[in-house]
Structure 1
Amino acid sequence: MASFLQQIGWRAEALGWDAYQGLFRAMGLGRASAAGGALFRRLGPLTGADHVARVNMRIVFPDAHEREIDALTDEMWDNFGRLVGEFPNTHRFDMSANSQQVRVEGAEILEEINRSGEPAVLFSGHFANWELMAAVIMQYLKSCRITYRHANNPVIDRRIISQRQAYGVEILAPKGGSGAKEIMKSLKEGYSVALMNDQKMNDGIAAPFFGREAMTASGPARLALRHGAPLVPMSIRRVEGTRFVVTIHEPLDTPDPGAPEAIHETVTLINRFIEARILEAPAQWFWVHRRFEKSLYRKA
C-alpha cells in the first residue's frame, strides 16, 4: 500500500508527464521529432547513460577514433530524442498498407502466421522508434501479446498503456513471473507473443555478443523451442525524419529442441541477429544498456 506522500509524488510526476505529452503533441509529429532530437543532443551527453553508451561503442568498434565515437553518440541521442518527440504523436503515423511514413517489408510472414492460426514468438531490439514495431504487429496479428516493463510510477504506467491502446496495441503482458505465466498460457491458447531481447538480464544466460559474454534473456528461445513456434526476428530503420522501414525477417533456423545446447545456440542466434542490425545502422540502436560485466562501466 503506497503511502500518502508517495501517492502525492506519483501525481506530481504525472503532471510533468502530462506537460511533456501536451507540449510535443501541440508541435505535431514532424516538429516534435526534430525538437526532441535537438533537445537530447544537448541533454544526453550530460547524463551517466552517455558514459555507458561510449563504453559499449568502444567494445563494438575498438579501432574507432574518439571523434567517431563523439559523432556516433551525438547521432544516437538525436535518434532517441526524436523517439521521445514522436511517442506522444504515435497515433498520427499513417499505418496503412500504402503508407509513405511506415513501410513494411516481409508483411507476408505475419499474414501467414495470422492465417495459420499457429502462434509465433517475435523478437527485436531497441532500434530507431521501436514503438512503431508494436503498432505494425497489431496491424497484422490481431491476437498478439506484447511484453513491456512497467513504469515505476503507476499513474504514468496507466497513461502509457492507454496511449498504446490508441494506436492499436490492445494486449500487453507485464514482464516478470506473472508475465511469464501469462505468455506461456497465451502460446498454449494460440496467441503469438512479442519481446525485446537486447537488454542485460542478470538471470539470463551468458552468450556471445560482439566477442564478449553477455547475460542474455533466454525467454524467446525457451518459448519458441518449448512450444515448437517459429522464432521471428523484426527490425526497424529510420530512413529520414519521421519515415521508417519495418522489416519482418524469415524465422530463425533453430536447433532441435532436444539438443543438449539448444537454448544456448538459439540465444546465440538471437544475439547474432541483434549484432547485424546494430552494424547496419549503429546510431539507431539505444546503446545505454549495460550488456557486459560491471567493471567495464566504472569511471576512471
Structure 2
Amino acid sequence: MPDDTPDLRNRIRFAAIRGTLWMLRCLPYRWRVPASGWIVSRIVAPLVGWRKRIRANLARIRPDLPRAEVERLTRAVPDNFGRTMAELFSPEEFVPIACATPFEGPGLAALDAARAEGRPVILVSGHFGNYDVIRAGVIHRGFSVGGIYRPMNIRQFNEIYVETISKIGTPLFSRGRRGMAEMMRFLKGGGTLAVLIDQRLRNGAPLDFFGHPAYTALSFAELALKYDAVLIPCYGIRQPDGLSFRAVFEAPVPHTTPEDMTQALNDSLEAQVRAHMGQWLWFHNRWKEIKKPRQAPEAAKEA
C-alpha cells in the first residue's frame, strides 16, 4: 500500500519527482520523451545502481554477450524505461500515437472473434517496450479494457500516477484483495484485461525464463480457464525512432494446464526480449530465489 507517513524522505522524493515531471512537461513531446530517457539512463541509473544490476543479470543469463553490447544495454534499458515513463505521464500526446500504431499478428482475429462471442480476453505482456500501447490501442478499437496496477510507495505520487494512467483508460484495478475481486467480476462479465506476466511473486511457480527458474504467477492462466477467456500474448515494440511502435498480437495460448499456459507466456516474452534486448527491464531481479516459509514439523507430518 502507498506510504501515508509524511516523513521527510518521502517529501523530498515526491518533490524531486514532481519537479522533474514539471521540467519535462515544459518540453515539446518529441523532445520530452528522449530527454526523459537520457535523464534516467545517464543520471538516475548510475545513482540507484541499475547499471550494476543489468550487468549482473546479463552475466547470469547471457554470458555470451560481448562487453560492448553489455555496456550498450546498461544505457539502452534505462533509456527505454525513461521514455516509457514520459509517455505514460503525457497521455494527451501518447494516446493518439498508440491509437495510430498498426496492429498485426494472428491474435487480432482471435481478439475480434472473442468480442463477437462475448468471451472475456486476457492480454498478456511484460515490462517491455511500452506495454500501454496495447491497452490504449485496444480501447481505441472499441473494447472495454481493464488494467492492473501496483500502488506506488509514496502516497502523493501514487495519486498523480493513478490519475494519469486513468486518462489512458479505465477501469483500473489495484493489486490487493479488493482490486482482485473487482477485476474478477469485470472479467466474468466479458471484459478484456491487460496484464503483465514478468513480476516476481512469492506464491508463484518456479517456471523457466531464459533457462533459469523465475517465480511466475499462475493466476492469469487460472482465470483464463475459469472464465473461458482467450489468452493472447501481445507487445508494444518501440521502433528505431524512439517514439513510434508496432503492436504485435501473437496466437492465443491454448487452454491446457496453468503451468503449461504460463510457461508458454514466459517463452513468448523471452523470444521478444531476445529480439529487442534493450526494451526489457534487465535491472529487475527476475531470477532472485524466494525463500519459502519453513513448514512446521506437525504440518509436514500431516502432509
- TM-score, length basis structure 1: 0.85
- Tell me the equivalent position of 1:298: none
- Tell me the equivalent position of 2:277: 282
Tell me the CA shift for residue 148 of structure 1. 0.5
Deviates more, 1:182-191 or 1:233-242: 182-191
Deviates more, 1:212-221 or 1:150-159: 150-159
Tell me the CA shift for residue 178 of structure 1. 2.4
1:71 aligns with 2:72: yes
Deviates more, 1:109-118 or 1:146-155: 109-118
- Tell me the equivalent position of 1:199: 199
CA distance in 1 between partners of 2:289 and 2:230 (Å): 34
- Tell me the equivalent position of 2:30: 30
- Would you say the 8 A contact 2:143–2:192 is kept in 1? no
- Tell me the equivalent position of 2:103: 104
- Tell me the equivalent position of 1:130: 131
AA of the residue aligned to 2:179:
G
- Tell me the equivalent position of 2:46: 45
**Residues 121-160 of structure 1 aligned to structure 2 (within 5 Å):** 121-160=122-161
- Tell me the equivalent position of 1:208: 208
- Would you say the 8 A contact 2:99–2:137 is kept in 1? no
CA distance in 1 between partners of 2:86 and 2:157 (Å): 17
- Equivalent pairs counted in the alignment come to 285
Write out per-residue CA displacement over residues 156-203 of structure 1, whole angstroms, 9 at most, x where no aligned residue.
222112212223x12100112222222222222222222100121111
Tell me the CA shift for residue 3 of structure 1. 10
Tell me the CA shift for residue 41 of structure 1. 2.5
AA of the residue aligned to 1:82:
R
- Would you say the 8 A contact 2:233–2:250 is kept in 1? yes
DSSP 3-state at the match of 2:129? coil
- Would you say the 8 A contact 1:200–1:291 is kept in 2? yes
CA distance in 1 between partners of 2:235 and 2:21 (Å): 26
CA RMSD of aligned residues (A): 2.6
**Residues 214-293 of structure 1 aligned to structure 2 (within 5 Å):** 214-239=214-239, 240-255=241-256, 262-293=257-288
Unaligned runs of 5+ in 2: 291-303
- Would you say the 8 A contact 2:207–2:214 is kept in 1? yes
Distance 1:177 1:94, change over 3 A: closer
Distance 1:45 1:10, change over 3 A: closer
AA of the residue aligned to 1:175:
R
Deviates more, 1:76-85 or 1:200-209: 76-85
Tell me the CA shift for residue 96 of structure 1. 7.1
Distance 1:231 1:269, change over 3 A: same
CA distance in 1 between partners of 2:207 and 2:90 (Å): 37
Tell me the CA shift for residue 87 of structure 1. 2.9
Distance 1:173 1:94, change over 3 A: closer
CA distance in 1 between partners of 2:216 and 2:67 (Å): 29
